[in-house]
């Protein structure tokens, strides 16, 4: 398998930033991985806090899909949307950069051979 395909698939399917590491851009890859990790943990913590805010407002009789959906509509999910947007942007950047850098490195190897 060609290196640029492996690095692109690694960033796309395993973890963003792994393709950069495979392309020998270790610092860039680790920074991407760290940003993805921090935003993922932050998103999980924010989602958990929203769920913890929701639970005390529900009585045992009220736990139906419609009531939960209504209570969720009242909550502010802007932070969650921001986290998801950042993660999507980081994922896209990681995949595209791994592909472009991998192709460039592959062509440089072929020229030097």
In tens, the pLDDT along 26-61 reads 999 999 999 999 999 999 999 888 888 877 766 666
Enter the pTM of the model. 0.80
pLDDT of residue 16: 94
Count of domains forming the chain: 1
Q: Show the CA angle centred on residue 106, arms to residues 8 and 21, nearest 5°.
A: 45
In tens, the pLDDT along 64-99 reads 677 777 777 778 889 999 999 999 999 999 999 999
- The helix/strand count (H/E) of the chain reads as 5, 0
pLDDT of residue 44: 94
Per the structure, the complete domain to which residue 48 belongs is given by 3-112
Are 16 and 95 in contact, with CB atoms under 8 Å apart?
A: yes
Query: Average pLDDT for residues 6-32, to the nearest whole number?
Result: 91
């Amino acid at each position: 398998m060609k290196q640029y395909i492996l690095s692109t698939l690694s960033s796309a399917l395993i973890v963003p930033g792994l393709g950069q590491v495979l392309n020998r851009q270790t610092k860039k890859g680790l920074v991407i991985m760290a940003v993805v990790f921090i935003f993922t943990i932050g998103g999980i913590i924010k989602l958990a806090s929203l769920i913890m805010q929701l639970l005390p407002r529900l009585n045992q009789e009220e736990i139906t899909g419609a009531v939960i959906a209504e209570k969720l509509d009242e909550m502010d999910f802007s932070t969650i949307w921001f986290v998801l947007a950042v993660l999507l942007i980081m994922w896209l950047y990681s995949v595209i950069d791994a592909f472009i850098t991998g192709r460039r490195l592959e062509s440089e190897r072929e020229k030097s051979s």
